[in-house]
Amino acid sequence: MAKDGNAGPLNEHDERALWLRAATDALRGDFEASSLPLPGNIRFGFSTKGKGTQKTGECWHSPASADGAYEVFIRADQGEPLEILGILVRELVHAALPVEDSHGKRYKAAAAKVGLVGKMRAAVPGRLLEARLQRLLEDLGPIPRAALDITWSAFDKPKRQIGRMLKATCAGGNNDAGAFEECGYTVRLASKWAKEYGAHCPKHGAIPVEFPPDDPETELDQQAEGVIPAELVGA
């Protein structure tokens, strides 16, 4: 970001991997201060959708690589530099831990040390870390990338989804007396209507739509809208 009175940003990175490397090098001190030194051999890239996951970032541990490097990937639809730095920090925490400790409680403790907050599968920078990343962003200058629309595929426009019927089944809900009753009401509807209005059981209200796994309208989005209770979404 340009500073007042200056011609432009301090740095100019013409490759996005270099931007991420510069960010990582700047964060090494922060990780060391949290007793989580980062490995030296980290490479950076941008995945498209990852390996069928919902994840905005990935960290592949050193043993997976033929030359023992760590690989950090940011999903290609990410375009906000501050959010990308948040994802980067989340992935660097994985890289700072031995692979067998890189999930669960050890991960959670380490993530908290560097200033990530919230649910671990979607941890975000807390206030202090966000301020730190904001300053870092000003030093780094613009990231040479823009969000890629990953509903496209590599050689083609997004697939037309007309005619594809989605299924929604009601698991049940409370009856008039307030007691839970099972249901099973099932409806099939076009993707367009599912996205615009969702699906509803006449007795029990909103019900989750089974979107195909490659659909951007995923269970995570439905979870955010409260259609699927968090405890029903697999970790």
Crossing angle of helices 16-33 and 81-96, rounded to 10°: 60
SS3 of the chain: helix, strand, coil, percent, to 5:
35, 20, 45
Q: How many whole angstroms separate alpha carbon 49 and alpha carbon 57?
A: 10
Q: How many whole angstroms separate alpha carbon 90 and alpha carbon 115?
A: 10
Cα of first residue to Cα of last residue in the chain, in angstroms, is: 37
Among 203, 218, 221, 233, binds Zn ion (CB under 5 A): 203
Q: Which lies closer to Zn ion via its Cβ, residue 113 or residue 204?
A: 204
Q: How far is the CB of 233 from Zn ion (least distance, A)?
A: 20
183 is a contact residue toward Zn ion (CB under 5 A): yes
117 is a contact residue toward Zn ion (CB under 5 A): no
Backbone angles phi, psi at 119, to 5 degrees: -65, 135
Taking contact as CB under 5 A, which single stretch among the options 80-88, 142-150, 195-203, 222-230 is the one that binds Zn ion? 195-203
Backbone angles phi, psi at 224, to 5 degrees: -60, -35
Inter-residue contact 83 to 50 (CB < 8 Å): no
Q: How far is the CB of 21 from Zn ion (least distance, A)?
A: 52
Among 166, 170, 194, 227, binds Zn ion (CB under 5 A): 170
Among 204, 216, 217, 221, binds Zn ion (CB under 5 A): 204
Taking contact as CB under 5 A, which single stretch among the options 11-19, 105-113, 146-154, 168-176 is the one that binds Zn ion? 168-176
185 is a contact residue toward Zn ion (CB under 5 A): yes
201 is a contact residue toward Zn ion (CB under 5 A): yes
Q: Which lies closer to Zn ion via its Cβ, residue 46 or residue 185?
A: 185
46 is a contact residue toward Zn ion (CB under 5 A): no
Q: How many whole angstroms separate alpha carbon 207 and alpha carbon 222?
A: 10
Q: Can you list the positions of beta strands (E) in the chain? A: 42-47, 57-60, 70-75, 116-117, 124-125, 165-169, 172-174, 180-182, 186-190, 199-201, 205-207, 209-210
Q: How far is the CB of 187 from Zn ion (least distance, A)?
A: 10
171 is a contact residue toward Zn ion (CB under 5 A): no
Q: How far is the CB of 199 from Zn ion (least distance, A)?
A: 11
Number of residues that bind Zn ion (CB under 5 A): 6
28 is a contact residue toward Zn ion (CB under 5 A): no
Taking contact as CB under 5 A, which single stretch among the options 6-14, 125-133, 183-191, 222-230 is the one that binds Zn ion? 183-191
Q: What's the gap between Cα 166 and its chain centre? A: 25
Who's near 78: CB < 8 A, 6+ residues apart? 56, 84, 87, 147
Q: Which lies closer to Zn ion via its Cβ, residue 48 or residue 175?
A: 175
Enumerate binding residues for Zn ion (CB under 5 A).
170, 183, 185, 201, 203-204
